[in-house]
Amino acid sequence: MPGNLTPENPVSGNAISGNPVPGNTGPGIPPAASQTGGQDAGQYSGAHSGQGHDQPRHQTRETARQDDDVLLSLRDVTIGYGTKVIQSHVTMDVRRGSIFAIMGGSGCGKSTILRSMVGLLRPMSGKYTVDGDDYWSGPDSHRTALNRRFGVLFQSGALWSSMTIGENVSLPLEMFTRLNRDMIRHLVEMKLGLVGLSHAIDLYPSEISGGMCKRAGLARAMALDPDVLFFDEPSAGLDPITSARLDDLILTLRDGLGATIVIVSHELPSLFAIADDGIFLDAQTKQPIAHGSPRDLRDHCKDPQVHAFMNREARTETSTTEPATTDPAATKPDNTESAGAGTVRKGQNANGK
């Protein structure tokens, strides 16, 4: 199994790297426009998809074509830590060229699902495939090869503070390629140029803003031209303008480079702006309760929890408990009345006479 992929160890397990796109001569060569996938909403099965369970006995050509568009697939996956289940019966398809959102309230298991998809947490049950290959079957070398197709942007950026921005971005190239220093420098400049950070190549993370650190982390995630980019709360902690610019950058990566993107977020403006498909996780039932694009869930989902979340509505529940006992000191008998800040009996003055 790949090594731990954490902010303290951001490159172990090859998970921030990706293979060059087939047909290219090396990292940094954008894929052909014809390789950009479609943006059709994924099709789902399972108990919580809101769709019927009946499946045709024979695949049509159209169904086969749609299956070819699926890059990542989870089928009845249960995920957790030890014996504690975080999410169960997770079924979803991520299609090539889509921006797929994993949504839900805080603590529902969004990042846990992401950790499993990048190879850091083996599911308790179920099947996870990458371009048709069963991810968790076979030896570690099999998973390592699949991990080379992934790039990860952490919530904090996870840059090495003792290394310059350029050195952070060049690290995957130095670890997983045989390119010389001049070529690596050229590719690093190219990746930083894509995120608007060419001028920061020799600066340290402490010398740039939080939004710039996020973009530098994105440049490192793209270092080896991965097929799939995983983003964990990319807009967290950013001001609205910086967040909007990052959204535009994500769309550019999808449209210009043909990247498939899986994003964990509860930032509604960003979700509505960029995501074209998704899944909504429920913390109470520990299961997905809705599938579809964020805009569709906002406008059409009948589930009260999903509707409230997507429309920023506070949910209030009627209390069934007994009302609290009234403080006797606050109860005024019939023969008392208020007098300024104190309480006096009728027929007495404020001094009690």
For residue 252, what pLDDT is reported? 87
Does the structure show a pLDDT above 60 at 46? no
Residue 174, helix vs strand vs coil: helix
- pLDDT: which is higher, 298 or 51: 298
pLDDT at 88 over 80: yes
Mean pLDDT along residues 330-353: 47
Indicate whether 336 pLDDT > 80: no
What's the burial of 162, exposed, middle or buried (CB within 10 Å: 0-12/13-18/19+)?
A: exposed
In contact, 42 and 51? CB cutoff 8 Å: no
pLDDT value, residue 119? 92
What is the average pLDDT across 275-298?
A: 94
What percent of the chain shows pLDDT beyond 70?
Answer: 70
Residues 185-214 have pLDDT tens digits of: 999 999 999 888 999 999 999 999 888 888
Mean pLDDT of 326-348: 46
Q: For residue 249, what pLDDT is reported? A: 86
Q: pLDDT tens digit string along 244-274?
A: 888 998 898 888 888 899 999 888 989 999 9
- Once rounded to an integer, what is the mean pLDDT over residues 106-119? 92
Task: List the strands of the sheet with 70-81, edge to edge.
Answer: 84-95, 70-81, 125-130, 133-134
> Which of 60-74, 155-169, 218-232 comes out lowest in average pLDDT?
60-74
pTM over 0.75: no
pLDDT at position 29: 36
> Minimum mean pLDDT among 36-50, 148-162, 246-260: which range?
36-50
Closest CA to 304 of 280, 275, 279: 280
Q: Which domains does the chain have, with CATH numbers?
A: 68-148+267-315 (3.40.50.300)
Cβ 215 vs Cβ 246: under 8 Å: yes
Assess whether pLDDT exceeds 80 at residue 327: no
Give the span between the Cα atoms of 330 and 341, in whole angstroms: 13
Average pLDDT over residues 59-69: 53
Q: Is the pLDDT of residue 101 over 90?
A: yes
Q: Which residues contact 255 (CB under 8 A, 6 or more apart)?
A: 36
Please state whether beta strands 99-104 and 260-264 pair in parallel, antiparallel, or not at all (unpaired).
parallel
Residue 17 has pLDDT above 70, yes or no: no
pLDDT higher than 60, residue 14:
no
The pLDDT, as a whole number, for residue 315 is: 58
